[in-house]
């Protein structure tokens, strides 16, 4: 099994694949996650995509059309999950939302909330409500100082205003308008590492604080571990914490999380049309492979007439991040 973690050969880290009883197998694909590009109005310190205002990489018209065809052709896709960057800033965003909606897919948009205040994007809250888009919004803490340290000065205040705006158009109130928040721990600066807190308890704390302080309501809180890729990995390497962080994650490996890993029923697509098992593999350029060892693209999926052409999921040592403690996925804790 392929592994590209910089600590793969380090005897202090057990190769992730060897932790498993059997190779990590793919299940029937139900989720299509599309990373539309690296354009973003923020440059968050923990961003594994390394997106930002100066990035220009984004979906092309050709790949966008192929993805619409994929959505049209395969009814087994239940969820179209749009991410970035700020997905809303990248080419093809609205055509993909509308194509997925027309085919009765659940549309998920991973939003940074502050995008609604950028010129040209003020229609988004109403647009999302019209198309019943499920919003998964980053709010890594309910305290302003912690959010602004991770995401930039003023981001917390803008996020609060955005959440209030979403509540006004029905999110958090209308059962068809789902608003979820995402918690990320702060990046460690010493070897005093910690796992994400218990999700249900933290959700209660978020809901109590945001409602009492700002009259904000939302549906679910997702706790997501900082995976050591992208800017998180760079931060850990600068602090000389990368190996010790991986050791910490390995020491908290929970085999009960493996059955629910998001990579098992998901395809992750980049803005060039390449296919990966998950977004983290995408950022580390570890492509998905067919049972014949062929590297996958959207074009090849359309030619094959099947989404279920992967037997084994590609793994690396950063996979310990998804399997530590309560587990971590795009939908939060796994156990």
Tens of pLDDT along 44-90?
A: 766 777 778 888 899 999 999 999 999 999 999 999 999 999 999 99
- Tell which phi-psi region holds residue 183, choosing left (phi > 0), alpha (psi between -120 and 50) or beta: beta
Residue with tokens 């068809």: 176
Alpha-carbon gap, residue 309 to 287, rounded angstroms: 13
Work out the end-to-end distance of the chain between its first and last CA atoms, rounded to an integer number of angstroms. Answer: 26
pTM (2 decimals)? Answer: 0.93
Rg from Cα positions in the chain: 19
Task: Write down the number of H helices and E strands in the chain.
Answer: 12, 8
C-alpha to C-alpha distances, 305 to 25, 35, 278, nearest whole angstrom: 20, 22, 21
Residue corresponding to tokens 């062929």: 294
Per-residue pLDDT at 6 exceeds 50: no
pLDDT at 4: 39
The sign of the torsion formed by the CA atoms of 113, 323, 29, 313 equals: positive
Residue 43: which pLDDT band, with cuts at 50, 70 and 90?
confident
Q: Which residue reads 């354009």 in tokens?
A: 39
């Amino acid at each position: 099994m392929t592994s590209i973690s910089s600590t793969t050969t380090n005897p202090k880290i057990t190769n992730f694949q060897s932790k498993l009883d059997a190779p990590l197998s793919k299940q029937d694909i139900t989720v299509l996650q599309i990373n539309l590009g690296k354009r973003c109005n923020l440059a968050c310190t923990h961003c594994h995509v390394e997106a930002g205002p100066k990035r220009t990489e984004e979906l092309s018209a050709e790949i966008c059309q192929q993805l619409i065809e994929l959505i049209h052709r395969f009814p087994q896709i239940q969820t179209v999950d749009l991410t970035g960057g700020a997905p809303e800033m990248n080419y093809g965003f609205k055509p993909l939302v509308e194509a997925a909606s027309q085919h009765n897919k659940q549309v998920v948009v991973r939003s940074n909330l502050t995008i609604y205040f950028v010129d040209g994007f003020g229609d988004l809250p109403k647009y999302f409500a019209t198309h019943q888009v499920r919003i998964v919004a980053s709010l890594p803490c309910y305290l302003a100082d912690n959010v602004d340290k991770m995401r930039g000065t003023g981001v917390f205040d803008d996020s609060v205003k955005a959440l209030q705006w979403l509540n006004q158009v029905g999110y958090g109130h209308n059962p068809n308008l789902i608003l979820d928040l995402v918690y990320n721990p702060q990046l460690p600066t010493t070897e005093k590492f910690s796992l994400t807190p218990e999700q249900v308890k933290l959700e209660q704390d978020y809901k109590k604080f945001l409602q009492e302080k700002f009259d904000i309501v939302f549906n679910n809180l997702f706790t997501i571990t900082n995976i050591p890729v992208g800017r998180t990995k760079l931060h850990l390497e600068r602090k000389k914490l990368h190996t010790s962080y991986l050791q910490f994650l390995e020491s908290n490996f929970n085999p009960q999380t493996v059955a629910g890993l998001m990579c098992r029923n998901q395809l992750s697509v980049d803005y060039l049309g390449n296919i990966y098992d998950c977004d983290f593999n995408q950022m580390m350029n570890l492509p998905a492979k067919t049972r014949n060892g062929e590297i996958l693209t959207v074009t090849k999926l359309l030619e094959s007439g099947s989404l279920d052409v992967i037997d084994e999921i590609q793994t690396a040592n950063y996979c310990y991040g998804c399997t530590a403690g309560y587990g971590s996925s795009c939908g939060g804790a796994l156990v």
